[in-house]
């Protein structure tokens, strides 16, 4: 494990969220494993069942992007672990999103905004063409506390 690996993985992780923010289907597709690994790719969007295989996953991004007018991610608590050809990134996705179905009304910014917090596990595989996303698992954080642990954990 080198610091170069960690930097490369974190760069691809950042690209993943940039692709989501720009709803760029082609960039998103380029970030995911393909070829022999395509079948074993897996993805859980918050509240969804797990999708298996590159084809189902890319269909889900098409649906999500078609229904996204504005979304912005601020990542916190990013951790990166590399073991051989596998890297695991965990982070908190702090999400700001447009609540209305209309876009472009106000060029200075989105209208009604919503937000939320998602706990994310992103697993990458080292391939001939660089690190590629192999698994994405995002889940809604329903706690209201800012702490990482439930209140009873803090005496």
Rounded to the nearest whole angstrom, what is the least distance from the CB of residue 148 to a copy of itself in the complex? 5
Please tell me the distance from the alpha carbon of residue 14 to that of residue 81, in angstroms, as a whole number: 15
153 counts as binding a copy of itself under rule CB under 8 A:
yes
Size (the chain), residues: 155
Nearest Cα neighbor of 94 from 9, 21, 24, 10 is 21
Residue from 1, 35, 74, 81 that binds a copy of itself (CB under 8 A)?
Answer: 81
Could you tell me how many helices (H) and strands (E) the chain has, helices first? 3, 6
Taking the least distance from each CB to a copy of itself, the nearer of 98 and 122 is 122
**Residues 88 to 107: which contact a copy of itself by CB under 8 A?**
88, 90, 92
Please tell me the distance from the alpha carbon of residue 8 to that of residue 71, in angstroms, as a whole number: 24
Residue from 52, 99, 102, 103 that binds a copy of itself (CB under 8 A)?
Answer: 52
Residues 29 and 55: beta-carbon distance below 8 Å = no
Residues within the interface to a copy of itself (CB under 8 A)? 40, 42, 44, 46-52, 56, 59-60, 63, 77, 79, 81, 83-86, 88, 90, 92, 117, 119, 121, 123, 125, 134-135, 137-143, 145, 147-150, 152-153
């Amino acid at each position: 494990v080198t610091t170069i690996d960690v930097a490369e993985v974190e760069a691809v992780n950042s690209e993943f969220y940039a692709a989501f923010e720009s709803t760029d289907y082609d960039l998103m597709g380029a970030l995911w494993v393909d070829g022999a690994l395509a079948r074993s790719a897996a993805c859980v969007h918050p509240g969804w069942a797990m999708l298996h295989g590159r084809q189902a996953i890319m269909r889900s991004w098409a649906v999500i992007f078609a229904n996204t007018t504005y979304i912005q991610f601020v990542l916190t608590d990013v951790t990166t672990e590399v073991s051989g050809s596998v890297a695991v990134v965990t982070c908190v996705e702090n999400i700001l999103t447009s609540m209305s179905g209309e876009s472009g009304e106000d060029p200075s910014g989105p209208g009604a905004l919503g937000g939320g917090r998602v706990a994310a596990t992103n697993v990458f595989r080292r391939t001939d063409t660089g690190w590629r996303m192999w698994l994405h698992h995002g889940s809604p954080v329903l706690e209201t506390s800012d702490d990482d642990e439930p209140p009873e954990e803090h005496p």
